[in-house]
Amino acid sequence: MTKLYLILLFSVACSFIGTAILRWYALSNSLIDVPNARSSHSQPTPRGGGVAIVLSFIISAMLLMKLEALALATMLALVVSGSLVAIIGFLDDHGHIPARWRLLGHFVAAVLALSLLGGMPKIIFFNEQIDLAWFGNVLAVLYLVWMLNLYNFMDGIDGLAGAQAIFVGLGGALLYWGTGSTEFIWGPLSLAFAALGFLYWNFPSARIFMGDAGSGFLGIVLGLLALQAAWVNPMLLWSWLILLGVFIVDATFTLLHRLLRGEKVYEAHRSHAYQFAARLCGRHFPVTVSVALINFLWLLPMAFVVGVGKINGILGVLIAYFPLIFLAFFFKSGQREA
């Protein structure tokens, strides 16, 4: 057990030190995010710090597998797919990869991940356990691709993406503890600690940004951890979707609105609800803290109640998402910026 706690300590220390090194590297090589009309920040800031999260978690996952705290198949799914997504993001951070090739790489990573994980698990649908077979696998691939892209879309203000990864990781571990599956807590905890080391440098006002390598990696890893949780307990899939609610609702509503207007959804913009809220506040800090409060005071209790079987999964998601949908409309998610 002591070795497992040491891995968590390593995860946060490696990420913290790694981010500092990457900040120096970015400044030395002019890897600077310069503000423009579509930016949510006002100061030139180095980018690419999320690579520290990637390396920290990959090493931690391998160590956890060696100590039999993470299954080999799960470790391979996380590491192989996450590495591919991170490499694509890293190359895009340093230059530019056309959107169609990025998307192709994302689908390849999602298919590899799902194959290594064992496919889409059975789900609980209104108290009935259902095996969706090949259709479930198609849905799971689309879900993973959407997760890694929406996480990139939601990484637009200081501290938000890092704090979300910490919350979901800790929340996922708590769900395992509450449902009597404590042997599975180490993967989510390791990711949360890796994000914590980075967040020190990214919390408002950020001294370095995550970059596509880190945000895409977090998106697909969190998506995979949710599917792994469903293999352990089908009800936990709904719980993880609740934990991810703020990002899922804001990103999905924004995408739908932009699609309906015929806009190119892969182009940069500032029309997410959290971006409107940040401009309304004039700072990033209140928005990041508000999201954290919503997560811990509303979504975590709802996810726990669903996880332990007190509320039907779909009903729980609908109840949890209702105020988030209201906030998305209130903050004009997806609308053109005036």
Enter the tokens of residue 81.
């797919």
Identify whether 335 is part of a domain. no
Give the per-residue pLDDT at 126: 79
Round the average pLDDT of the chain to a whole number and report it: 93
- Binding-site residue set: 152, 212
Average pLDDT for 40-61: 92
For 252, other C-beta atoms within 10 Å of its C-beta total 18
Question: What is residue 123's three-state secondary structure?
Answer: strand
pLDDT in tens, 206-264: 999 999 999 999 999 999 999 999 999 999 999 999 999 999 999 999 999 888 887 87
Q: Length of the chain in residues, anyone?
A: 338
Average pLDDT for 282-293: 96
Distance of CA 320 to the CA centre of its chain: 18
Number of domains in the chain: 1
How buried is residue 310: exposed, middle or buried, by Cβ count under 10 Å (0-12/13-18/19+)? exposed
Identify whether 157 is part of a domain. yes
Question: What is residue 235's three-state secondary structure?
Answer: helix
The string of DSSP codes covering 58-71 is HHHHHHHHHTTSS-
pTM for the structure as a whole:
0.96
Give the per-residue pLDDT at 230: 96
pLDDT in tens, 170-219: 999 999 999 999 999 999 999 999 999 999 999 998 999 999 999 999 99
41 CB-side CA count, 13 A: 23
Does the pLDDT at position 130 exceed 70? yes
Average pLDDT for 265-278: 86
User: Is it true that the peptide bond before 205 is cis, omega within 30 degrees of 0?
Assistant: yes
Average pLDDT for 279-290: 94
Identify whether 26 is part of a domain. yes
Average pLDDT for 33-43: 71
Q: For residue 38, what pLDDT band results from cuts at 50, 70 and 90?
A: low
Residue 33: phi and psi, rounded to 5, are -90, 105
Identify whether 62 is part of a domain. yes
Identify whether 336 is part of a domain. no
For 12, left (φ over 0), alpha (ψ -120 to 50), or beta? alpha
Q: For residue 39, what pLDDT band results from cuts at 50, 70 and 90?
A: low
Give the span between the Cα atoms of 21 and 276, in whole angstroms. Answer: 33
Identify whether 29 is part of a domain. yes
Considering only residues 34 and 86, tell me which one the structure prediction assigns the higher pLDDT: 86
Give the per-residue pLDDT at 219: 98
Average pLDDT for 40-63: 92
Does the pLDDT at position 37 exceed 60? no
pLDDT in tens, 311-328: 999 999 999 999 999 999
Give the span between the Cα atoms of 59 and 83, in whole angstroms. Answer: 12
Give the per-residue pLDDT at 109: 98
Give the per-residue pLDDT at 337: 73
Question: What is residue 9's three-state secondary structure?
Answer: helix
- Name the pairing type of β-strands 32-33 and 45-46: antiparallel
Enter the tokens of residue 306.
């669903």
Radius of gyration of the CA atoms of the chain, in A: 19
- The domain of 177 spans 2-330
Identify whether 337 is part of a domain. no
Identify whether 166 is part of a domain. yes
* pLDDT over 70 percentage in the chain: 98
Q: For residue 167, what pLDDT band results from cuts at 50, 70 and 90?
A: very high
Bridge partners (DSSP) listed for residue 123: 130
Give the per-residue pLDDT at 316: 97
- Binding-site residue set for Mg(2+): 152, 212
Residue 210: phi and psi, rounded to 5, are -70, -45
